[in-house]
A and B are shown apart, each in its own frame.
Chain A
Amino acid sequence: MKELVIISGKGGTGKTSLVAAFASLAKSKILCDADVDAADLHLLVEPRIGERHDFHGGNTAMIEPELCTKCGLCRDLCRRNAIGGNFIVDGLECEGCGVCWYFCPEKAIQFPLDTCGEWYVSDTRFGPMVHARLGIAEENSGKLVTLVRQEAKKLAEEKALPLIITDGPPGVGCPVIASIGGASAVLIVTEPTVSGRHDMERVAQLATHFNIPAMMCVNKFDLNPEQTNGIEEFARGKNIHVLGRIPFDPVFTKSMVQGQTIFEYDGDSQTCQTVTAVWEHVYNRMEIQQ
């Protein structure tokens, strides 16, 4: 079983639209949305939720006022300054290290497990999907990403499906690291802009750092053909396989507004042919058995 993770560095380069397009093209697969703090893939593939589970990411300290003697030890120990002068814990600042709870001489601090999101196993018109929703302003997005990927893998094994297509988050930090570890390959979707290139170089470096084979395609390539050439040259120099160029095409926005993939919206378009060619490269390169 193989896992392809779509990443970009910069946001808004077209990861999710491309994952949805691949969902139209790939025959047997599981979809996995690992962009847990701003998940969008469900808007195009409309999952019917089959299983719903709570996600427990960590703990948050809570001071019991009746037991607290206001000795101040917890405030001295907390490096996040999460405990105010009123001995109330600021949940947004508390990282759940538990140091206050461990040392409180009055045992006045509780340290309950948080429910900080949900994850789902669903059915879509493209096959099964594992996805999640991290609670607003929560931490532990990396843990939730790891969880949805594990569940997607389990499901793929159960159903004997040869491929997981994972929609990754933007950036290079915690959730991206959790998204790509152990993947068969990453596909970097970039755009020919100074920021697209800058962030692509960083995420390419991250893939190298974790030893994950990388492929690349340039979306909206015609916005700046010169920049596109430069990006592809960079990729070849880093042994990143260049899969093709996708034009700037309003069909992506139009199909999104309809809640469709570009193939459902207008399968005959030139852009669909280009995306099909990109998919065939991915497919051959990863030696996916369908």
Chain B
Amino acid sequence: MIISIASGKGGTGKTTIATNLALSIESDVQILDCDVEGPNAHLFLNPIIRESETAKSPVPEIDEEKCTLCGKCAEICRFKAIIVIGEVVLPFPNMCHGCGGCMKVCPEKAITETGRELGIVERGNINGLDFVHGRLKVGEAMSPPLIRKVRSFTSADKITIIDAPPGTSCPVITAMKGTDFVLLVTEPTPFGLHDLTLAVEAVKILGIPHGLVINRADMGDGRVREYAEQENIPILMEIPFYRTIAEAYSKGRLIVEIMPEWKAKFLELHDHIKQMVDNPGRFL
């Protein structure tokens, strides 16, 4: 079972839910931190990193001996990642989406591919919990290929928890697509509600069963609850604002560490999700 944790708005508590849920389940569970622009789960879980690899995206390399400056590569490229000016053919690797069109179209076979570094994927564990995250290289724009790389480490025999990036565009879609359940984390404020409605639209496009966690549930107003009721989205957990939780969070500590009684609630959350995934007809 793959559970992705998403939100629309940033800073609502995705990582808090992902890490506390993963630690509560304890066995046969893995966490994939797909918020590769700002991966944070490791700060709370302190995994021992055992493997690290560079993730790359293909970019063209031009053999100037063979190139006749015909310009077909520049013509096919939709991303302005290769241009021909005068006697020079100039690739812009940062703009390249790695589609391979230039290589395919080149009549002289003057183009081969090399890799542009997108970032790194690190893997490790915390006791029995498997940990994977991606770190986008600072200055690199494209996160989806790195997110796909992190997701390639999904183990079919484990419960997989995906910490997704904020927003509603391609990075979060890449993190949620094909998962069995999306747990949406929001706060009951106008910003939280607005971005939640966008996230729900995205989840509906993907057709994935989903439920809601309301964080800092007592700060704001009642409109998120009204919306959830109207849209028939089950509220699976509410976490009130406790200054002690916020202060512990600031130091990298988890709710289940400082308030062990919450472990049972996270296990209940997991059971609830499992029921919804096992009986999709009743909830979608």
Contact = CB atoms under 8 A, between A and B. Distances in A.
Interface of A: 9-13, 16, 37-38, 40, 43, 58-59, 77, 79-80, 92, 95-99, 102-103, 134, 136-139, 141-142, 169-178, 191-196, 198-199, 202, 205-206, 209-210, 223-224, 227, 248, 250, 253, 256-257, 259
A172 B36 CA distance: 9
Contacts of A256: 189-191, 220
13 contacts: A11-B38, A43-B190, A95-B97, A136-B198, A137-B169, A170-B166, A171-B38, A172-B138, A173-B36, A173-B171, A178-B141, A193-B250, A256-B220
A11 B99 contact: no
B104 A77 contact: yes
Interface stretch (B7-15, B21-29, B84-92, B267-275): B7-15
Contact of B79 (A77, A97, A169, A172): A97
A39 to B, nearest CB: 8
A59 B206 CA distance: 20
Contacts, number: 179
Contacts of B252: 194
Q: Number of contact residues on B: which range applies?
A: 35 or more
A165 B250 CA distance: 29
Nearest to B8: A38
Interface of B: 8-12, 15, 36-38, 40, 43-44, 76, 78-79, 97-101, 104-105, 136, 138-143, 165-171, 173, 177, 189-191, 194-195, 198, 201-202, 205-206, 219-221, 243, 246-247, 249-252
Given A99-B101, A172-B38, A137 B220 contact: no
Contacts of A175: 169
A102 to B, nearest CB: 6
* Interchain residue pairs A-B with the least CB separation, the first 8: A11-B10, A12-B11, A97-B99, A171-B37, A224-B250, A195-B40, A199-B38, A174-B141
A170 B38 contact: yes
Contacts of B97: 95, 97
B190 A77 contact: no
Contact of A11 (B9, B173, B201): B9
